[in-house]
Chain A
Amino acid sequence: MSEVETPRIGVFVCHCGHNIAGVVDVDKVAEVAEDMPYVVFSTHEMFMCADSGQELIRQKIKEHNLNRVVVASCSPRMHEPTFRRVVEEADLNRYLFEQVNLREHVSWCHMRQPVEATEKAIDLVRMSVARAAKLEALPIKKVEVTPRTLVVGSGIAGLTAALDIADRGFEVVIVEKDKVLGGAVAKWTHLFPSDQIGEQVIEPLIDRIMRHEKIEVVRDSKVVNFEGYIGNFEVTIQNNPTGAERTYKVGTVIVATGFEPFRPIGYYGYGESPDVVTLAELQEMPRQYELFKPSDGKPVKKIAFIGCVGSREPGTKGHEHCSRHCCSAVAKAASDLRQRCDEVLVLYQDIRTYGRGHEEMHRLARGRNVIYSKFPPDQKPQVTIRKGKVRLNWFDVLSEDHLQFEPDLLVLASAMVPPSDIEETANLFSLTRSADGFFNPEHIKLAPLTTHTAGIMIAGAAQAAKNAHESAIDASGAAAKAVGLMARGKVEIESTVAQVIPELCSTCYTCVSACPYGAISIDKDAKPQAARVTEAKCHGCGTCAGGCPSSAIVMLHSTDDQILAMVEAYLCTPQEVTGGNA
């Protein structure tokens, strides 16, 4: 622990253009901060994160000999890394930086209450200043990155990522739970936007994968255990049929576990007649020129598609997200099949053929006399099945008419949903999921391929519903992230781990059983015995410290003292009677 030095805190309040300053009286916040304990400098500035703002911090650190910096701006989840780097450039340890969230937590959610927002802002700054006074410098730790990537899933995303990484010269272990490689695309007969079938796209990739000397393929297997931290993961893979296990050391991971087609049981007669199928099932039908009815084997002359089945249906048993691929997949299949059937009908809500060549495909379908009819979102088509015949009734928006059609085959373009075991995958790799059920990226705009778990990337449909072209691009992108880490050879890791004060430890074993990572054990050789943390295994969650009855565990950068100082600063500072004046 560092020797005691008197804190000299600098406070920088950010306007974020109008984003913060439009609601919070930033002038006043900076002014009040000046009188807070240990604050020797306080100011406000248009954009703290801009080069000019960063330069200001560095300059003021030097000028006022600051040894703690508080920036009151946006969410630390966004810019903490930026500002930590800035203070480091001014020779201040990154753990002596503290950020206050005045934007997401104040100005944006109290837009019509400037006075209360300003008051809240001042409290939050005061709390962080109190915490800052108690911050301690921590060592910056670097670890080696094992030059091997684990790729989970062998759809087009997994295969592409594996090949890119291997072509770039690093080793890959690719694990697939299925018996065969290739994922969903390998099954599709009507592949948009090209005129190939899925196999033609996937086979060459599998071929190269199997021959590549840097790639090890593990099929019919699943990851059953995953430990470690960026650069140094240890993964145990179990063979499904035999139960045999093998352990690999890897430095980075790409999760490309894809999706499952939604099975719309109870929707539109699905499950009631064999002649109602999903688009996925249509694509998996035997490849022959003529299409036959699953029920009686007669040729299909009339075919109908319904879009958005289980997609864009918030609040029902469906899913709120758009599945992105189906409009285009339907356009492709409908226009292909129109060559072989007499009548092809497509019922839709909106047509989202957004991608390159997709609008053209849609136009081609219409050109081939595929009939498109829009139904209102709040009035879904009705399907009745009588004596084995499928009948469709719907309201056509354009003609404002109730229409009817009796297709030989009804195809439901069903949603892309996360694989049924996604929760297991999420837990293994500590990934969070967004509202659509797929994995959350680190940042939805600028970091779509990395996750909040350092060293773990996501690609393809595992991240969100998307088509194969986009999944392949994701894969190369995620591969670049993995290679970036491995090529550097070493990466920095967080120093915010648990530490035991042996003298206080009562060896009650609370922490040992609390730790989700098995990072604490009781050191039996120590005299007296005491708990001990294996730092490399500790993820810094603090569950041990939260439970320790003897307060023997110190969470670095999140000490009891630091937390309680914030609470005290909020509650025990005499309130100003007037409040804000904005």
Chain B
Amino acid sequence: MMTEAKATIVTENDWEPRIVAYCCNWCSYAGADLAGTSRIQYPPNARILRVNCTGRIKPEFILAALDMGADGVLVSGCHPGDCHYTSGNLKARARWALMEQVIEQAGVNPKRVRLQWASASEAQIFADGVRALVEQVKELGPIVREWK
């Protein structure tokens, strides 16, 4: 099922990481909005997908993104204790550890995925998070499939 990345026709030099960013609506999506209104500049590599809560994010969503060729996946939600739905992010955090193992077993460097908490007022933290992941992924290079 896993095949060569479908879009790696680009050469090494102009390769830019492609990042899928799942953000919860209440904190991180709002934080990303605030980054915009505050004109905080950050790398344009991430495509944000809005979900209600990080609790909504199935591990499959992350795996599927990597499978389809994402060089990195960001999951960003409210700080533990601040989830709009009280505890969705705690569940997300609990699932995360397991997910990292699965990724590693599948031969993908877990540094390609990042879980972060950024509240609606933490625009800078959000932007820094995107930057950090982009830089990290740049060091790792384009995603390569090592599992069948």
Contacts and interface: CB of A to CB of B under 8 A. Distances in A.
Q: Let me know if chains A and B touch directly in the complex, using CB atoms closer than 8 Å.
A: yes
Contacts of A117: 44
B91 interface: yes
B7 to A, nearest CB: 5
B53 A123 contact: no
B48 A101 contact: yes
A427 B52 contact: no
B111 interface: no
Given A112-B41, A432-B27, A546-B91, A566 B49 contact: yes
Contacts of B52: 496, 540-542, 555, 558
B29 A77 contact: yes
A22 interface: no
B32 A543 contact: no
B6 A572 contact: yes
Interface in A437-452: 440, 452
A432 B119 contact: yes
Interface residues of B toward A: which range? 35 or more
B91 A571 contact: no
Nearest to A112: B41
Contacts of B9: 574-575
Interface in B40-99: 40-42, 44, 47-53, 55-58, 60-61, 64-65, 68-70, 78, 81-88, 91-92, 95
B20 A109 contact: no
Contacts of B26: 432, 452
A282 to B, nearest CB: 32
A153 B24 CA distance: 30
A563 interface: yes
B32 A563 contact: no
A563 B20 contact: no
Contacts of A542: 51-53, 55-56, 88
Most buried by A among B7, B39, B56: B56
B42 A109 contact: yes
Contacts of A110: 41-42, 44
Nearest to A557: B52
B121 interface: yes
A29 B23 CA distance: 24
Given A452-B26, A541-B53, A571 B44 contact: no
Contacts of A453: 84
Contact of B78 (A75, A432, A539): A432
Contact of B85 (A111, A124, A541): A541
Given A432-B78, A516-B85, A543-B56, A105 B48 contact: yes
A111 B16 CA distance: 18
Contact of A433 (B30, B33, B82, B127): B82
A62 to B, nearest CB: 29
Given A541-B55, A543-B56, A567-B65, A572 B41 contact: no
Contacts of A101: 33, 48
B112 interface: no
Interface string A401-441: 00000000000000000000001001100101111000010
A342 interface: no
Interface residues of A, number: 59
B108 interface: no
Given A564-B61, A571-B70, A120 B39 contact: no
Nearest to A110: B44
Given A109-B39, A541-B88, A546-B91, A571 B6 contact: yes
B113 interface: no
Interface string B1-44: 00000110110000010101000011101101111110111101
A575 B47 CA distance: 15
B44 A120 contact: yes
Given A105-B32, A109-B41, A112-B41, A120 B47 contact: yes
Given A109-B36, A432-B82, A440-B120, A572 B7 contact: yes
B42 to A, nearest CB: 6
Nearest to B7: A575
Contacts of B69: 571-572
A447 to B, nearest CB: 14
B36 A105 contact: yes
Contacts of B44: 106, 109-110, 113, 116-117, 119-120
A434 B47 contact: no
Contact of B121 (A111, A127, A435, A540): A435
Contacts of B120: 432, 434, 440
Most buried by B among A427, A453, A546, A573: A546
Given A111-B41, A127-B47, A566-B49, A103 B56 contact: no
Contact of A516 (B29, B87, B127): B87
A545 B58 contact: yes
Contact of B33 (A75, A120, A452, A516): A75
Contact of A543 (B18, B47, B91): B91
Contact of B56 (A75, A452, A558, A564): A558
Interface in A103-145: 103-113, 116-117, 119-120, 123-124, 127
A511 to B, nearest CB: 10
Nearest to A545: B56
A229 interface: no
A560 interface: yes
Interface string A469-506: 00000000000000000000000000010000000000
Contacts of A423: 81
A104 B33 contact: yes
Contacts of B29: 77
A575 B8 CA distance: 9
Nearest to B120: A432
Give the 7 A-B residue pairs with the shortest CB-CB distance, closest first. A542-B56, A543-B55, A104-B36, A541-B85, A108-B36, A571-B68, A541-B53
Interface of A: 75-77, 101, 103-113, 116-117, 119-120, 123-124, 127, 423, 426-427, 430, 432-435, 440, 452-453, 496, 514, 516-517, 539-543, 545-547, 555, 558, 560, 563-564, 566-568, 570-575
29 contacts: A104-B37, A105-B36, A108-B37, A116-B16, A124-B47, A432-B27, A432-B119, A434-B120, A453-B84, A516-B86, A516-B87, A541-B56, A541-B84, A542-B51, A543-B56, A543-B92, A546-B56, A546-B91, A547-B55, A558-B51, A558-B56, A560-B61, A563-B49, A566-B49, A567-B49, A567-B64, A567-B65, A568-B68, A573-B7
